[in-house]
Chain A
Amino acid sequence: MGHKKQPQHNYLDHRIMSTNANIWNESLINDWVATQRKYWDTWSEFAQKAGAGAFAAGSEKASASNPFAAFSPTAGNPFGQNPFAQNPFANNPFAGNPFASFTAARNPLEGALEQWWSAIKPQAQGEIGTVAQRFYDMGKSFMSMAEGMFGAAGQEQPDAALNMWMSSMQAALQQWIAQIQNNFDVATPDLPGVSGTTLSTWAQLADSVAPWLNMSQHFLKEVAEGHLPGGIEMPGVGAAQEQFLRALSMPGLGYTREQQERLQRLARHLLSYHDSLRGYKLAFAKTALASLDAVQKRLQALHKDGKKIESLRGLYDMWVDGSEEAYAKFAMSDEYQVVYGDLVNALMRVRKDMNELVEHQYELMNIPTRSEVDTMQGRQQENRRENRQLRHEIAQLRAQVERLSKPARAASAAKGGSRTKPPAQDSLPIDDDTEEDLTAIKGIGPKMMEKLYAQGIKNFAKLAQMNTDFAERLDESLKAQGRILRDDWIGQAKKLLG
């Protein structure tokens, strides 16, 4: 490839080593930051070189697909392009990330990764654009893992590098869990140095429920940060929450009572949503830890078999398999069923309350509401159903009338062809109009009984009198789908008559 020798070895000399990888301390962060810096320095150099080589054209056109354009001296100002504008993670509703401010102050290169990926990201719209986005996300994740490994590779032994990398992730996860437990879970960790790998995948999985349910990101962010609609500030846990809940349960007074009650209900549901989300994320965070274990086990098994991981791809695949295994176990657990259902239900309750609030406003403005439209659509669908049914029945009746209006032809046909069946009887011999409850017969419901009554069949005796031909024709005109014979109404009627 002709790239220049990587200067990473010098970097080892002044690298600050974390002595205790189990604690997410400042020196560890500095460590990662330094690693990132070195890594991206390396990349930038390569990028410039590649920009002048492989993508030498340097024309406006070429730079559109040139992933290194942003770093190329011939390209425009790389900072002119807001890296967050296209950042798929910028929509993260849990923006109040405690790490974000912590790292931003210390990491002058924060965003370099974004910058680079923004540059590589194709500008396509539509199908291609969405697929490109997925490649982009995957590549970012893969490169981020490479970055992590590269950073940790400063260790004397490569295996120790991986160990350190995993320990740091474990520490970060434990910290995340502690945050959630302390109700400080407004942030999904954008863990320095390891973003985009398995950790943030878990975090994204935990987060992705929100867009799934079509909630507005902004709204969720507000909720997650404790700001409720109407200027209500949501306190944290414990006594304060209890008091707050009590306040929310106080009956509303006077003429705005209903509206007050709606708001109280919404606030209660928001609190319960907040709790459900916490439970859901906690379960995810714990499972992410389990996935690290699963990966460890795979590594041990490899070691036992005397096999080695000699490529990033091999490491990535093993990582995916281990994580998927832990995830599958989690996803099939009773715990997941509960936290998942609780979260969806809690979110739906909030959404329902919001809909009601909006509808109330609409009513005040004399604007039609969703409920009204629903009622109309429901009725319309009912009418369409009936209409179809009636048209079908009319067509059948027409056909029947047509058959009946040609008795002469039928009779002569019967005379001519000796094999033709004798004309079926058109009415039942006994003439009794006593009404009996025909629903005693299996297969006859109230609607069917009505239809039978309309045909003059009002009691068991009449049913019992039917012959097969009559039953078949009756079945056709009632659109009973063969039920009369299949369910043996005649036999059942006979039985009931004793």
Chain B
Amino acid sequence: MIPFQMRPDEIVSEARSFNEKLAKGVGNLMDVGDIPSGVTPKEPIYKEDKLVLYRFKSETPASNKTPLLIVYALVNRPYMTDLQENRSTIQGLLEAGQDVYLIDWGYPDAADRFLTMDDYINGYIDRCIDVICARHGVDKLNVLGICQGGAFSLCYAAMHPEKIRNLVTMVTPVDYKTPDNMLSHWVQNIDIDLLVDTQGNIPGEMLNWTFLNLKPYQLMAQKYLGVVDLMDDPKALKNFMRMEKWIFDSPDQAGETFRQFIKDFFQQNKLIKGEVQIGEHTVNLRKVTMPVLNVFAEQDHLVPPDASRALKKYVGTKDYTELSFPGGHIGIYVSGKAQKMVPPAIGEWLNAR
């Protein structure tokens, strides 16, 4: 027995109402206007190749004298942390007394395909850190790494512990082979050398396609159906569009970096084995001896919480704290709940150290 109770006229009526809403909504969509990439004023401090290091402007001077550098992933764009007024992790960190810097990696092109993890971590990140330290006359700063940027930050912290005062990792994969890691499951049988040798850089669209296919029905269809109900509210629609713009704004990933990241981290899980080799260094997480705050999302479908939680087991610090957020990989930055909870907690943790 199937509990479906709709008469044909009811079906037509609902379908018609849906279509009317959609038709009006699509009209409103045309009037959304420009969507900025980030809302908090910022100034470029340092540029190198396609990278720009920004410092965010704050209305009040930072109470924490140790500057904070945000290292974002090479996947998608960093303005996710600064998406809209009142929905900005950056804003929250500024309000929590931090002096916030951020690395914008730009859009790598074919000429960047030979950028290695060594170039990114011991090159770009290291030089950005030198620039900030010199500006502030300090030897060490605070680093906040996000997702893949968190993995890069962990590697950096293990190789240059003397330059990091406190490390915050957010939705950062550490153990890449937890049983619920779908992305990792998918790449195990892929010949990454063949892929990178043939493709060069890995197209952003391909990465995006992969992420959307983690939950294709929800992310490619149901989500839009839900929005039809709020499409007559221009403000709500604009906010929806900010997120849409971000989701589909996906830079390509430098081929050599992708090669090492997928082979060493995803396929061979070398980070927790202490076997990752970056330039002249072997990355040993035991050398991460500064205080560590590990922030993860309980409903993260990209980086399962267990993948992040593993850090506790491998990190060398005695001052390790976890912050578990009841939300998803993106919600941890953009949801209303996150604004109240996450940046203030990070600020407080940093200010106490």
Interface residues in chain A, defined as those with a beta carbon under 8 Å from any beta carbon in chain B? 1, 3, 6, 8-9, 42, 46, 54, 65-67, 120, 122, 124, 127-128, 130-132, 134-139, 141-143, 146-147, 149-150, 153-154, 158-163, 201, 205, 208, 211-214, 299, 302-303, 307-313, 315-317, 320, 323-324, 327-328, 331-332, 336-338, 340-342, 344-345, 348-349, 351-352, 355, 370, 374, 377-378, 380-382, 385, 388, 445, 447-448, 481-482, 486
Contacts and interface: CB of A to CB of B under 8 A. Distances in A.
B274 interface: no
Nearest to B119: A385
Contacts of A139: 18-19, 22, 224, 228
Which 8 pairs across A and B sit closest by C-beta, in order of nearness? Answer: A341-B189, A381-B114, A138-B224, A146-B15, A159-B2, A153-B8, A162-B4, A67-B23
19 contacts: A8-B9, A128-B241, A131-B29, A131-B244, A135-B29, A158-B6, A205-B213, A214-B206, A299-B2, A309-B5, A310-B5, A313-B14, A313-B225, A324-B215, A332-B182, A381-B115, A381-B119, A385-B123, A448-B280
Contacts of B16: 1, 3, 46
Contacts of A448: 280
A208 B161 CA distance: 44
A65 B114 contact: no
A247 B38 CA distance: 60
Nearest to A338: B189
B61 interface: no
B222 interface: yes
B18 A134 contact: no
A340 B12 contact: no
B65 interface: no
Contacts of B187: 341
Nearest to A153: B8
B191 interface: yes
A212 B11 contact: no
A34 to B, nearest CB: 14
B4 A312 contact: no
B43 interface: no
A142 B226 CA distance: 12
A445 B206 CA distance: 39
A213 B199 CA distance: 9
A412 B113 CA distance: 54
A349 B194 contact: yes
Contacts of A307: 3
B2 A445 contact: no
B188 interface: yes
B198 A158 contact: no
B26 interface: yes
A149 B2 CA distance: 13
A307 B221 CA distance: 25
Contact of B222 (A208, A317, A348, A381): A317
Contact of B15 (A122, A150, A385): A150
Contact of A341 (B4, B190, B205): B190
Given A66-B23, A153-B6, A337-B186, 20 more contacts: A65-B27, A120-B23, A127-B244, A128-B30, A135-B29, A139-B22, A150-B8, A159-B1, A212-B206, A299-B3, A309-B6, A313-B225, A320-B222, A331-B182, A331-B185, A331-B186, A340-B190, A345-B191, A349-B194, A385-B119
A136 B182 CA distance: 29
A80 to B, nearest CB: 21
Contact of B4 (A138, A158, A342): A158
A243 B258 CA distance: 40
A481 B198 contact: no
Contacts of A327: 216-217
Interface of B: 1-20, 22-23, 25-27, 29-30, 32, 35, 110-111, 113-115, 118-119, 123, 127, 159-162, 180, 182, 185-191, 194-195, 197-200, 203, 205-206, 209-210, 213-218, 220-222, 224-225, 227-228, 241, 244-245, 248, 280-281, 287
A149 B6 contact: yes
B84 to A, nearest CB: 15
Nearest to B118: A385
Given A8-B8, A67-B19, A310-B6, A138 B221 contact: yes
B8 A308 contact: no
A6 B8 contact: yes
A302 B119 CA distance: 56
B4 A308 contact: yes
Contacts of B210: 212
Contact of A159 (B3, B197, B205, B224): B3
Select the residue from B188, B190, B217 with max chain A CB neighbours within 10 A.
Answer: B217
A385 B118 CA distance: 9
A120 B26 contact: yes
Nearest to A196: B221
A102 to B, nearest CB: 27
B19 A201 contact: no
B198 A348 contact: yes
B194 A348 contact: yes
B4 A143 contact: no
A149 B11 contact: yes
Nearest to A165: B4
Nearest to B248: A130
Contacts of A66: 23
B222 A124 contact: no
Contacts of A143: 15, 18-19
A345 to B, nearest CB: 5
Contacts of B281: 481
